[in-house]
Amino acid sequence: MIKVGIVGGTGYTGIELMRLLASHPQANLEVITSRSLAGTAVDELFPNLRSLVDLNFSEPSVNAYGDCDLVFFATPNTTAMAQAAELLDNGIRLIDLAADFRIKHVPTWEQWYGATHACPELVEEAVYGLPELNREAIRGARLVANPGCYPTAVILALIPLLKNGMVDPGSIIADCKSGTSGAGRNANVGTSFCEVTESVKAYAVPGHRHLPEIREVLQGLDSDVELVFTPHLMPIIRGIHATVYADARGAADQVQNLYEELYRDEPFVDVMPAGSHPETRSVRGANMCRIAIHYLPAANKYVILSVEDNLVKGAAGQAVQNMNLMFGLDETSGLKAPGMMP
């Protein structure tokens, strides 16, 4: 059994990690931390975990994770980097669900996150945890940077086209929508029910922190990539819907086959039949990214539709997928549940 710790067990990604790991056949939850709720039973706060998680929240401390094989950081940005070196020195592997290790160019990270990086020497070692791109590197990693939710949907939408030179890399527009859980669990007027229901709004149009992450990863596929990325807030709890536009290059008659072939053996990417329109509700609760590709001949453009649950394939589920790879397990272990409908 893999002995697992979760740092930050009261946010939405921490809760989702507990839900997934509670029934994982080869992982055992050893410690779950919360500075404000130390000593409180986990199932007192989250009754859905009754009889599944028999632990109290603990004070966050490097010493608390001493018996763990792996620690997940489901914490705000800049938290994991303060403890990463000591954990790794103690032989404990780490998956960070925040952004501390996602961007390789440290000055860019510092510019967007407004902080001095605490361990830049570890940034190069960290593996970007998108299995569909970096599966073999993840298998041997000590430190994995779990991708952001928007980046996961956008990057998976574009990999086949960029790998095969089938789009103008400077023409990409990613128009993305997210459920309110993506903003976190802390009370906030802007994401409260009365403020978001029956309304849709764009935000961070001049620049969102996921933009440099998406750009850096896509430029690894084509160095000429540039893109416009506009996120929107939707009045739903879970879900990402990315509509990605790009100018087409070359013949488009084989693009459906291209997507199907590239993702044929990917357990958590579903390429839908030509002409499909995937819905966020079809992936709610599942570790799945569902994609459909459209070609508009009059405009000579591709429109790629990509949906996922921001808390699962966009966060905790992908983190468990990475854990499975790091420890030589079946990649789908603990992640086979389908989406919840209605």
* Best CA proximity match to 319, nearest among 30, 49, 24: 24
Phi, psi dihedral angles at 24 (to 5 degrees) = -70, 130
* Best CA proximity match to 220, nearest among 276, 158, 262: 158
Q: Of 68, 149, 176, 289, which is the active-site residue? A: 149
In the annotation, is 194 catalytic? no
* Best CA proximity match to 182, nearest among 162, 196, 166: 196
Burial class (CB in 10 A: 0-12, 13-18, 19+), 335: buried
Residue 229, token pair as written in the block: 């990325």
Cα–Cα dist 102/80, whole Å: 12
Distances (CA, A) of 229 to 101, 134, 245, 327: 21, 23, 11, 35
User: Catalytic site residues?
Assistant: 149
